[in-house]
Amino acid sequence: MSLAKAVVTGSVYRAPEKRFTQNNVPVSSFVLNIGEREEMLLRIIVKRTALDEIVSGISEGDRVLVEGRLQVTSVKTESGAERRIFEIDANAIEMMGAGVPVVATASGNSDIVKFSQEEFSNELIGEDEIPF
């Protein structure tokens, strides 16, 4: 069941692994820890080949931002108890903490985002610059 669009950040808990469907379509997945004080694990599913390059560069412990569609799946454990698995079908993934963020989207664009120091000002916006 698909719930909504989600944007999360976290540390890679389990490195990506790539598998192939019966129709030879690559599907990668990894586990992201989105909790700060305790583990809150979320499975990330990547079905888009445009994201393959960035997913192949992800390793355990990396900080990433993931945007996609939140899905909930229910499974039964061996003991018969029902368990919910939360996962995101990723549309975009961004590496964080490497100094220069690399962004990959499902459209195939991979951009390096650079900010100069002059783009960030410590001054507040003047009253005459506010349009309302």
Q: How far apart are CA 18 and CA 45, in angstroms?
A: 10
Q: How far apart are CA 51 and CA 42, in angstroms?
A: 18
DSSP class per residue in 38-61:
S--EEEEEE--GGGHHHHHT--TT
Q: What's the length of the chain? A: 132
Fill in the amino acid letter for 82.
E
pLDDT value at 116 more than 90: no
- Output phi, psi for 14, to 5 deg: -130, 125
pLDDT value at 103 more than 70: no
Q: How far apart are CA 122 and CA 95, in angstroms?
A: 26
pLDDT value at 38 more than 60: yes
Q: For the chain, what percent of residues have pLDDT higher than 90?
A: 38
Of 91, 81, 78, give the one whose Cα is nearest residue 7.
Answer: 91
- Identify whether the C-beta of residue 46 lies closer than 8 Å to the C-beta of residue 92: no
Indicate the pTM of the whole model.
Answer: 0.68
Confidence tier at 98 by pLDDT (50, 70, 90):
low
Mean pLDDT score of the chain: 78
pLDDT, residue 85, reads 86
pLDDT, residue 3, reads 64
Cβ atoms within 10 Å, residue 32: 26
pLDDT value at 110 more than 60: no
